[in-house]
């Protein structure tokens, strides 16, 4: 009996969604596989492939202190992350920021995203951030899943 167990979800149009995962679809082999390496205290989203195809980038939202809606609460803490296909997870953006919409420029030389201080009013002004790609060996936080 876990039918009455409370599990916090992401609310709004994501009711019932508790812990998203990143899934890779291999169209040649017709297989699906969950990419491993994202720590349990993050929910990933807005994922894009790296230009070389050896990893993905996206936004990682913290589960604590609570999971407010992701659609309309653009002021919640999040991080831009990089995950290699080998399971190495790295945070690329700073603390106490609300981030969204990571994309690569057409030649794959820069990763860009929107960022603003976390908290404050919903949909406040964002900065356009640019990050030289591939990243330098100096990383903030990395986990090796394997």
Amino acid 138: pLDDT: 53
Where helices occur in 20-61 by DSSP H, the ranges are none
Q: What is the domain partition of the chain in residue ranges?
A: 12-144
First to last CA, the chain: 34
Alpha-carbon distance of 52 to 50, in angstroms, equals 6
Three-state DSSP class for residue 13: helix
CB 110 within 8 A of CB 128: no
Amino acid 64: pLDDT: 78
CB 131 within 8 A of CB 110: yes
Amino acid 2: pLDDT: 83
State whether CATH 2.40.50.140 applies to domain 12-144: no
What Rg, from alpha-carbon coordinates, does the chain have?
16
Residues in the chain with pLDDT values less than 50: 139-146
Amino acid 110: pLDDT: 94
DSSP state of 74: T
């Amino acid at each position: 009996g876990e039918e009455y167990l409370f599990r916090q979800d992401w609310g709004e149009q994501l009711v019932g969604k508790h812990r998203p995962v990143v899934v890779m679809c291999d169209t040649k082999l017709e297989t699906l596989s969950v990419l491993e390496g994202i720590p349990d205290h993050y929910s990933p989203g807005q994922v894009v492939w790296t230009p070389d195809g050896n990893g993905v980038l996206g936004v990682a939202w913290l589960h604590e202190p609570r999971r407010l809606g992701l659609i309309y609460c653009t002021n919640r803490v999040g991080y831009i992350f990089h995950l290699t296909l080998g399971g190495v997870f790295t945070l690329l953006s700073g603390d106490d920021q609300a981030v969204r919409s990571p994309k690569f420029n057409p030649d794959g030389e820069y990763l860009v995203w929107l960022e603003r201080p976390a908290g404050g009013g919903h949909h406040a002004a964002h900065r356009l951030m640019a990050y030289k790609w591939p990243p330098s060996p100096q990383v903030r936080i990395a986990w090796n899943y394997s």
